[in-house]
Amino acid sequence: MLNPDVKLNPKIFSDDIEQKPTRAGFGDGLLIAGEADENVVALCADLTESTYSHLFAKKFPDRFFECGVAEQNMATIAAGLGVSGKIPFISSYATFSPGRNWEQIRTTISYNDSNVKIAGHHAGISVGPDGATHQAVEDIATMRVMANMRVIVPCDAIEARKATVAAAKLWGPVYLRFGREKTPVMTTEETAFTPGKVEVFWESASSTSSGRVKPQVVIIGCGGLLYNALLAARELEKEKIGVVVLNSHTIKPLDEKKIVELAKKTGAVVTVEEHQVSGGLGGAVAEALAKHAPTPMEFIGMQGVFGESGPPAELIEKYGMGVKHIVAAAKRAIRRK
């Protein structure tokens, strides 16, 4: 069942649940951060409306810098601002930033621990018709490996706004990952969000009166696909298979303590992400469990392939990230105990 303590959207399983892209939450959060601190500045690579940076640019024109199609320059300029007392946010499609300017992010931002926030937009295959060249499915891995870098992947627009505001208050480099497509708004204003801490969105529990059962598998997700994880948990519980669903919005630093605790409790783990299964959330969880609690795992995500052009929902199904795929993965993990 849904965790009542987390205060999720009461319409979470309704057909009329609000749908909003996480990039919109970034735009709202950037505006709030800018209003709260005059040191917040924004830079963009000729994609102000697509990244919702135009809201900040309109209100704070003297604190907005249009860098043009020059992502490498943008990162280097931001690095200088970040070590000079400013809090710069840089925005572009994730396939270009951090895709094209990875070396500049590494050498001028991370190496110097510059206080820069990198907003990678249109990530994952749900970019849809733009096709494989614009579908960043490697960005979590490339940013997670970088020293001094935090990595946050919000699950919906509200959490994206909270993550953006929180990033402005954190010292040092932060990578924020956002999607293009509208996705269900699962959380509310009251839903807790703390960088570095997972939240339990769903937990089955033993109960003879309700027919619920002891958790047998923990599903750990991030981004918009977390909604599919919740739908899968509902289906599994109908089959008397107990589930815990974690929102692991922060991939680095990972909440290892809670994840290890639940892995030991359930004995089976499934990770869900709109990203390559290598090096992303699944890789981070596997590393943690290898150190502390080796556990049977299954990985939902891109299985070492590129995407293609097509409707987002169809691509999610084709590449094995739909509800039925998560259900099947959970059962496989349980069988391997």
- How far, in Å, CA of 112 to CA of 80, rounded? 10
Tell me: do 163 and 217 sit in the same domain: no
Q: What is the pTM of this model?
A: 0.96
150 lies in the same domain as 206: no
pLDDT of residue 93: 98
CA max distance for the chain: 62
Please indicate, yes or no, whether residues 175 and 270 belong to a single structural domain of this protein. no
Same domain, 211 and 303: yes
Q: What is the band of 214 on the pLDDT scale with cuts at 50, 70, 90? A: confident
Q: Is the pLDDT of residue 208 over 50?
A: no
**Residue 84 belongs to domain spanning:** 19-184
Query: What is the per-residue pLDDT across 247-301, written as a single tens digit (0 to 9) for each?
Result: 999 999 999 999 999 999 999 999 999 999 999 999 999 999 999 999 999 999 9
Q: Is residue 140 domain-shared with residue 206, that is, in the same domain? A: no
Closest CA to 43 of 82, 77, 94, 84: 77
Please check whether residues 179 and 207 belong to one and the same domain: no
Contact between 308 and 132 under an 8 Å Cβ cutoff? The reply is: yes
Q: Tell me, what CATH number does 244's domain have?
A: 3.40.50.920
Catalytic residue of the set 71, 203, 273, 298: 71
Q: Are residues 116 and 95 in the same domain?
A: yes
Q: What is the mean pLDDT of residues 128-154?
A: 97
* 37 and 116 within one domain: yes
**Tokens 């204003």 — which residue?**
189
Question: How many angstroms separate the CA atoms of 313 and 311, rounded?
Answer: 6
Domain boundary among 116, 150, 184: 184
% of the chain at pLDDT higher than 70 = 98
Tell whether 234 and 319 lie within a shared domain: yes
Average of per-residue pLDDT across 143-157: 98
Mean pLDDT computed over every residue of the chain:
96
φ/ψ bin of 328: left (φ > 0), alpha (ψ from -120 to 50), beta (otherwise):
alpha
Six-digit token string for 164: 């953006």
Check: CB of residue 219 under 8 Å from CB of residue 229.
yes
Q: 222 and 131 in one domain? A: no
| Domain shared by 180 and 229, yes or no | no
Tens digits of per-residue pLDDT, 6-55? 999 999 999 999 999 999 999 999 999 999 999 999 999 999 999 999 99
CATH of the domain at 109: 3.40.50.970
**Does pLDDT of 111 surpass 50?**
yes
pLDDT in tens, 293-322: 999 999 999 999 999 999 999 999 999 999
Q: What is the pLDDT of residue 211?
A: 59
Q: Are residues 234 and 321 in the same domain?
A: yes
Which among 134, 160, 184 is the end of a domain?
Answer: 184
Which stretches does DSSP call E strand in 11-61? 19-20, 40-44
Number of domains in the chain: 2
Query: C-alpha 54: how far from its chain's center?
Result: 22
Among 180-189, 206-215, 228-237, 288-297, the minimum mean pLDDT is found in: 206-215
Among the candidates 184, 212, 244, a domain finishes at 184
- CA triple 88-105-159, angle to 5 deg: 55
Q: Is 18 a catalytic residue?
A: no
pLDDT confidence bin for 63, thresholds 50/70/90: very high
User: For residue 185, how many C-alpha atoms fall within 13 Å in the half-sphere facing its CB?
Assistant: 20
